[in-house]
Amino acid sequence: MLRADTGEPIKGARVRLAEHAAGQNPHSYTAISDENGRFSMTGVVAARYRFIATRTGFVPQQFRPDGALAPAPVELSPGQKLEKALFRLTPAGVITGKITDEDGQPVAGVEMEALLDARQEQRLAGISGNEDPETAMLAAKMEMVPVGMGVTNDLGEYRMYDLPAADYYVAAIDSGMPELTEHSLVAGSFMTSDMGDEPPTGHPPMYYPACSRAIRRKRCT
């Protein structure tokens, strides 16, 4: 387990093998990298697996065989040993900012989205339209794909993290619910029925840098 930018070993990365199976109890195995970036798994049942590495502050990465341009599942046969599986994790990007109203006051509960062009998102995920016609067709219909989200706090501040380096569109959508939090949005615990007869917000969706039509790009590194 190495950093893609410096080649230094990464300690504490979580590596997971998840079986591609339709059954109710698919096999799953995990390991944590040591101070030298090494990890190992034993007693793995022969099967077809999704192999992925994650670490806070880095972009999650699926396993890519040597020389492969795109992620690929791992198929293990009985008695097979997969040695020297290498992951090179890229440090993740962060977009931060602050939302204020027309009077300069902070606005809480604003939903923030980091959007990518659908085809750019496919390239980052290692998906080729030639390999997956259905996914390519979906990308043609979907212009933008949200890959990061957040909600402004009581100071109007937001932070979207774990983002791959790319050109992003940033959207701000006023929910009209200042009590909305990122936790409730992610968990889905904030139900629309809780809104009651709340008046609709008077703020239309806005895009960086504070415009409703002409969207500009923000480089995230």
- CA dist., res. 97 & res. 170, Å (int): 10
Q: Considering the chain, what is the average pLDDT of its residues?
A: 78
How many alpha carbons lie under 13 Å from residue 125 in its C-beta half-sphere? Answer: 17
Alpha helices in 33-93 (DSSP H): none
Rounded to an integer, what is the distance from CA 118 to the centroid of its chain? 14
Strands 2-3 and 88-89: parallel
Contact present, 201 and 175 (Cβ < 8 Å): yes
We find that the CATH architecture of domain 93-220 is Sandwich (2.60)
Domain segments of the chain as ranges: 1-91, 93-220
Dihedral class, residue 124 (left if φ above 0, else alpha if ψ from -120 to 50, else beta): alpha
Q: Do the domains spanning 1-91 and 93-220 agree at the CATH topology level?
A: yes
Cα distances (angstroms) measured from residue 131 to each of 72, 75, 134:
12, 19, 9
Q: What is the pLDDT of residues 81-107, one digit of tens each?
A: 988 899 999 999 899 999 988 889 999
Q: What is the mean pLDDT of residues 74-82?
A: 90
pTM of the model: 0.62
- CA dist., res. 54 & res. 15, Å (int): 7
- CA dist., res. 150 & res. 30, Å (int): 28
We find that the CATH architecture of domain 1-91 is Sandwich (2.60)
pLDDT at 218: 37
